[in-house]
């Protein structure tokens, strides 16, 4: 993956898989593997042993990494997942919604 369209703390929407249509905040991006950890998406079951922190033990839902190709940045103005373009804003390059008529800037 050469250029990051998704960064940490972005709001994204899942386009494919079991979690499709759900939105969440990006917690971590692994550009080498092309995967992202998103809050509330791609939940898997994990068994937890009894411990002092967790005296009951049991089964917990945790987030698993999801492929970056299966998520898109969520535009609050368009209210959907969108592609991203890059524009110069003064001397800084910013990510902008690629939908015609919408000029929402993701980098603020």
- Give the CATH number of the domain where residue 79 resides: 2.30.30.30
Q: Using the structure block, give the residue that is written with the tokens 């994990």.
A: 46
Residue 65 CB burial class (10 angstroms; 0-12, 13-18, ≥19): middle
Q: What is the pLDDT of residue 5?
A: 85
Say if 1 falls within a structural domain.
no
Q: What is the pLDDT of residue 7?
A: 92
Say if 32 falls within a structural domain.
yes
Q: What is the pLDDT of residue 103?
A: 86
Are the beta carbons of 95 and 106 closer than 8 angstroms? yes
Say if 64 falls within a structural domain.
yes
Number of domain units in the chain: 1
Burial profile 40-57: b = 16 or more Cβ within 10 angstroms, e = fewer: ebbeeeeeeeeeeeeeee
Q: What is the pLDDT of residue 2?
A: 55
Say if 15 falls within a structural domain.
yes
Are the beta carbons of 82 and 72 closer than 8 angstroms? yes
pLDDT by position in tens, the chain (length 108): 456 789 999 999 999 989 899 999 999 999 999 999 999 999 999 999 999 988 999 999 999 999 999 999 999 999 999 999 999 988 999 999 999 989 899 987
- Domain range holding 38? 11-50+60-97
């Amino acid at each position: 993956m050469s250029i990051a369209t998704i960064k940490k703390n972005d709001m994204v929407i899942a386009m494919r898989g079991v979690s499709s249509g759900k939105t969440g905040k990006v917690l971590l991006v692994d550009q080498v593997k092309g995967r992202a950890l998103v809050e509330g998406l791609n939940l898997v079951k994990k068994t937890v042993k009894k411990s002092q922190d967790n005296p009951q033990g049991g089964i917990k839902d945790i987030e698993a990494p999801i492929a970056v190709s299966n998520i898109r940045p969520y535009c609050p103005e368009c209210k959907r997942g969108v592609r991203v373009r890059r524009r110069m804003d003064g001397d800084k390059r910013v990510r902008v919604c690629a939908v015609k008529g919408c000029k929402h800037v993701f980098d603020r």
